[in-house]
Amino acid sequence: MKFFIDTASLDQIKEAKDLGILDGVTTNPSLMAKEGISGQENILNHYVKITEIVDGDVSAEVISTDYEGIVKEGRALAQLAPNIVVKVPMIKDGIKAIRTFTDEGIKTNCTLVFSPGQSILAAKAGASYLSPFIGRVDDITWDGMQLIEDIAEIYAIQGYETEILAASIRSPLHIVNAAKSGADIVTCPLKAILGLLKHPLTDIGLEKFLADHKNANS
Ligand code: E4P
């Protein structure tokens, strides 16, 4: 399973890269706004800065919701760097645009996916990545992980090549369960990635090893 970081923070992207486990980055308009990035030129420049840090794919989301607008915006984003993936919402014009991008060789990430039916349409349109939002499904007391399992089963049966990018990850447990449920990729906040490190027995064990070494060598 690949690890993407879900942020527009350059510092956090660098920290995850330094850990040696980073395969890509996803952003969305809310994450860009959170970093105070606004204005078309600044937004495009920021995407370029991210692509200069990571070798893997970087999802840049369109704002347009009509076919012509999505295609125009997506083509411009795709020209920023070879590792830009155009992130397109799961709407009728979005599916149409994903088909156009697929035919043009532009990689896409179909976002705001909440049902197996939507996942079938995105795969049929040729989306490179599919982003089912686990946390937001859990937020309304449905089962986000069941959604990943259902999509993984359908994609395996049908032989779809679209990669399942489990999104809206909120915790280390989400990451572990996404891995068990058949996600190809998880996109996570840095905090959730670092949370995977934690175990009290590791801390206790390390403390004992260091104390024993100190006693034996003093
Ligand atoms: C990533 O592609 C999604 O936009 C993101 O994971 C959404 O996460 P959230 O539900 O925590 O905002």
Alpha-helical (H) ranges within the chain are 10-19, 29-34, 40-53, 67-78, 92-104, 116-125, 134-139, 144-158, 172-181, 190-195, 200-216
The residue range of the domain holding 185 is 2-216
Work out whether the CA dihedral 97, 65, 79, 16 comes out positive or negative. Answer: negative
User: Which three-class secondary structure string do you get for 83-130?
Assistant: CEEEEEECCHHHHHHHHHHHHHCCCEEEEEECCHHHHHHHHHHCCCEE
**∠77-68-97 over CA atoms, to 5°?**
70
2 beta partners: 185
Q: Which pLDDT score, from 0 to 100, does residue 21 have?
A: 96
Sole residue written with tokens 């994450």:
31
Confidence at residue 63, expressed as pLDDT on a 0 to 100 scale: 98
pLDDT of residue 12: 98
- Cα 76 to ligand 1 centroid, rounded to whole Å: 23
Radius of gyration of the chain (CA): 19
- 50-80 pLDDT, tens digit per residue, is 999 999 999 999 999 999 999 999 999 999 9
* pLDDT for residue 163: 98
Q: Which pLDDT does position 55 carry in this prediction?
A: 94
199 C-alpha to ligand 1 centroid (Å): 26
**Burial label, 217 (beta-carbon count in 10 A; 0-12, 13-18, 19+):** exposed
Phi, psi dihedral angles at 203 (to 5 degrees)? -65, -45
Q: What is the CATH number of the domain that holds 88?
A: 3.20.20.70
Residues of the chain with pLDDT under 70: none
What's the structural domain count of the chain?
1
Which amino acid residue places its CA nearest to atom 1 of ligand 1?
167
- Give the pLDDT score at 112: 98
Q: What would the two tokens of residue 112 be?
A: 């705001």
Whole-angstrom distance, CA of residue 184 vs CA of residue 109 = 13
**Distance (Å) of CA 112 to CA 5, 10, 94, 201:** 17, 24, 11, 38
List, chain by chain if needed, residues with CB within 6 Å of any ligand 1 atom. 6, 26, 28, 111, 131, 133, 135-136, 167-168, 187
The residue with tokens 């992130």 is 87
What pLDDT does 82 receive?
A: 97
- Which of 3, 168, 185, 187 best tests ligand 1's pocket when mutated (most atoms within 8 Å of CB)? 168
Are residues 107 and 57 in contact, defined by beta-carbon separation less than 8 angstroms? yes
User: According to the model, what pLDDT value does residue 1 have?
Assistant: 98
Ligand 1 pocket test, candidate residues 133, 134, 147, 191, most atoms within 8 A of CB: 133
Catalytic positions, written as ranges: 87
Q: Give the pLDDT confidence score for residue 18 in this predicted structure.
A: 98
Q: How far, in Å, is the centroid of ligand 1 from the Cα of 188?
A: 8
Q: Which of 102, 98, 133 is nearest to 6 (CA)?
A: 133
* Protein residue with least CA distance to atom 9, ligand 1: 168
Q: What is the pLDDT of residues 93-122, one digit of tens each?
A: 999 999 999 999 999 999 999 999 999 999
